[in-house]
């Protein structure tokens, strides 16, 4: 299966996730650099970079950035924004290729959950290891089993927003139906996007996405198998320990080289 989804959603993606504080997230990433690396890396790969929110944030802080994503639509949005020398590559995170190694890899906002099988997870983590300098850092996060079971579940949401300003303002509504199957660990997301058109009518587009829920033991086992030393798993940007109701785990892992 290829990289499904993130087509019609791409132009409104950043607007819908506007509340996410990427500056605070990048502070956390830099705190991880300071804590776990002898010196901050110069070249960083942002894997599954989407429209490049974290890629741009880190580029703005002086890092040379590569952004890899499997969605042409998301990368097209990324390329229309401030590029600041960022190298964007349209590649699948299960088979990406770089020209050389990097000092750190980030993979933000549950992009790892888009790897739907343990085999894909292992392939991706092995590639990340392959392209990291010895001792390089892999920082990623996942939605937790608690979030899949209790927040996503079978719930439906409507997100309502306005794009543009003044007479160019147009309403958008994003309807989102979840279906989490505990037996398979797969969560289906059916999204319907309604975008107001200049004549006042609404254009509907639909998108289907899937995420896989991974227990902590599986993530740790796959990290171990692919050559990583786990430095910590956290519930937030303050390095707090995860609790039963934590919705996102942030992992820091170091590539061990023979
Ligand atoms: C939730 S978005 C996160 C995007 C970005 N990291 C951010 O913080 O905004 C997940 C991203 O993963 C990408 N993705 C999903 N499966 C992928 C795959 N197999 N290879 C590469 N990218 C993939 C999607 O295209 C999408 O841009």
pLDDT of residue 45: 98
d(CA 119, CA 37) in angstroms, rounded, equals 29
Q: Is 247 exposed, middle or buried (0-12, 13-18, 19+ CB in 10 A)?
A: middle
Candidate from 70, 79, 147 with most ligand 1 atoms within 8 A of CB, to mutate:
70
Candidate from 17, 48, 65, 141 with most ligand 1 atoms within 8 A of CB, to mutate:
48
d(CA 250, CA 233) in angstroms, rounded, equals 5
Examine the domain organization and report whether 191 and 106 are in the same domain. Answer: no
Examine the domain organization and report whether 134 and 154 are in the same domain. Answer: no
Examine the domain organization and report whether 27 and 72 are in the same domain. Answer: yes
Q: Which residues line ligand 1 (CB under 6 A)?
A: 3, 6, 48-50, 53-54, 69-71, 74, 92-94, 108-111, 114
Does a structural domain hold residue 18? yes
Which protein residue's CA is at the shortest distance from atom 25 of ligand 1? 71
Does a structural domain hold residue 2? no
Examine the domain organization and report whether 128 and 163 are in the same domain. Answer: no
Does a structural domain hold residue 231? yes
Candidate from 17, 22, 50, 112 with most ligand 1 atoms within 8 A of CB, to mutate:
50
Ligand 1 centroid distance, CA of 128 (Å): 15
Does a structural domain hold residue 204? yes
Give me the average pLDDT of each 10-residue run along the chain (258 residues): 68 83 98 98 98 97 97 94 88 98 98 98 98 98 98 93 83 93 97 91 94 98 98 98 98 92
pLDDT of residue 2: 44
Does a structural domain hold residue 24? yes
| Closest atom of ligand 1 to CA, residue 107 | 6
Does a structural domain hold residue 88? yes
For residue 165, what are the contacts with CB-CB under 8 A and spacing of at least 6?
none
Ligand 1 centroid distance, CA of 229 (Å): 24
Candidate from 29, 51, 69 with most ligand 1 atoms within 8 A of CB, to mutate:
69
Overall number of domains in the chain: 2
pLDDT of residue 17: 82
Examine the domain organization and report whether 52 and 130 are in the same domain. Answer: yes
Of 255, 242, 14, 256, nearest in space to 139 by CA: 255
For residue 199, give the CATH number of its domain.
Answer: 2.20.25.110
Ligand 1 centroid distance, CA of 53 (Å): 12
| Domain carrying residue 242 | 10-144+213-255
Does a structural domain hold residue 132? yes
For residue 30, give the CATH number of its domain.
Answer: 3.40.50.150
Of 91, 9, 13, nearest in space to 52 by CA: 13
Examine the domain organization and report whether 208 and 221 are in the same domain. Answer: no
Does a structural domain hold residue 4? no
pLDDT of residue 165: 81
Ligand 1 centroid distance, CA of 244 (Å): 26
Examine the domain organization and report whether 123 and 222 are in the same domain. Answer: yes
Estimate the crossing angle of helix 22-36 against helix 53-60, to 10 degrees. Answer: 60
């Amino acid at each position: 299966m290829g990289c499904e989804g993130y087509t019609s959603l791409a132009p409104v993606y950043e607007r819908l996730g506007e509340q996410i504080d990427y500056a605070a997230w990048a502070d956390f990433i830099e705190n991880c650099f300071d804590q776990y690396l002898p010196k901050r890396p110069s070249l960083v790969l942002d894997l599954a970079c989407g429209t490049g929110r974290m890629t741009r944030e880190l580029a703005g802080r002086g890092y040379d950035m590569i952004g890899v994503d499997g969605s042409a639509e998301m990368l097209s949005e990324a390329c229309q924004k401030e590029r600041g020398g960022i190298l964007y590559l349209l590649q699948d995170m299960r088979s990406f290729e770089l020209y050389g190694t990097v000092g750190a890899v980030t993979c933000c906002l549950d992009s790892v959950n888009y790897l739907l099988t343990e085999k894909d997870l292992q392939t991706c983590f092995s590639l990340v290891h392959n392209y990291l300098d010895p001792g390089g850092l892999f920082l990623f996060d996942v939605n937790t089993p608690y979030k899949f079971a209790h927040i996503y579940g079978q719930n439906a949401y409507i997100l309502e927003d306005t794009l543009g300003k003044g007479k160019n303002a147009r309403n958008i509504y994003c309807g989102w139906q979840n279906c989490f199957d505990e037996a398979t660990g797969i969560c289906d997301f059916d999204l319907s996007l309604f975008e107001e058109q200049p004549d006042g009518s609404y254009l509907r587009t639909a998108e289907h996405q899937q995420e896989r829920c991974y227990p902590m033991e599986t993530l740790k086992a796959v990290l171990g198998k692919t050559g990583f030393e786990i430095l910590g798993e956290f519930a937030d940007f303050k390095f707090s320990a995860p609790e039963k109701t934590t919705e996102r785990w942030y992992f820091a892992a170091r590539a061990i080289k023979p």
